[in-house]
Amino acid sequence: MALRPIVKEGEEILLKKSRPVEAFDDRLGQLLDDMAETMYAADGVGLAAPQVGILRRVCVIDIGEGLLELVNPVVTAQSGVQETLEGCLSSPGKCGITRRPKKVTVTYQDRTGAARTITGEDLLAKALCHEIDHLNGILYATHVIRWQEA
């Protein structure tokens, strides 16, 4: 495992769309391991591959309930609204209140390629939306309704 540098806001790669993962190999496993280590070291709750310079549809999330590894995630259902504080490891020292769905269902693949589904509410729903946005080149600022002093 290895820490990878986190790309900061202003870098063009964060605005690009990531490509689907097709090979569920050791290289993917290494990327997932490194992303988890990098996320934990930065005290984050989520990290997407473009944030470590890789334009692949991969993200990791841990809201304190264990590590989630999501490959090729897609939001398949959403409901409700939440307006809560949100930030991003690529934008240190900034945060804002965003408007997000309160509940989302996401289909994805695990590191072996097996199909999985997860439904998350509140913080998990926000994290899922935030990380999947990264895979589409969308930053959370798009969803900010009110900036806050960090």
Instruction: Write the CB contacts of 100 (distance below 8 Å, at least 6 apart in sequence).
Output: 81, 82, 83, 84, 86, 125, 126, 129, 130, 143
Q: Count residues near Co ion (CB under 5 A).
A: 1
State the minimum distance, in angstroms, from the CB of residue 66 to Co ion. 20
Residues from 71 through 130 that contact Co ion (CB under 5 A): 88
Radius of gyration of the chain (CA): 14
State the minimum distance, in angstroms, from the CB of residue 131 to Co ion. 7
DSSP 56: B
Q: Which is nearer to Co ion, 118 or 141 (CB)?
A: 141
Amino acid identity of 102?
Answer: K
Q: Does the CA dihedral 79-97-34-22 come out positive or negative?
A: positive
131 is annotated as an active-site residue: yes
Q: From the candidates 9, 11, 65, 131, which is the catalytic residue? A: 131
59 binds Co ion (CB under 5 A): no
State the minimum distance, in angstroms, from the CB of residue 115 to Co ion. 25
**Contacting residues toward Co ion, per CB under 5 A:** 88
Q: Which residues are catalytic?
A: 131
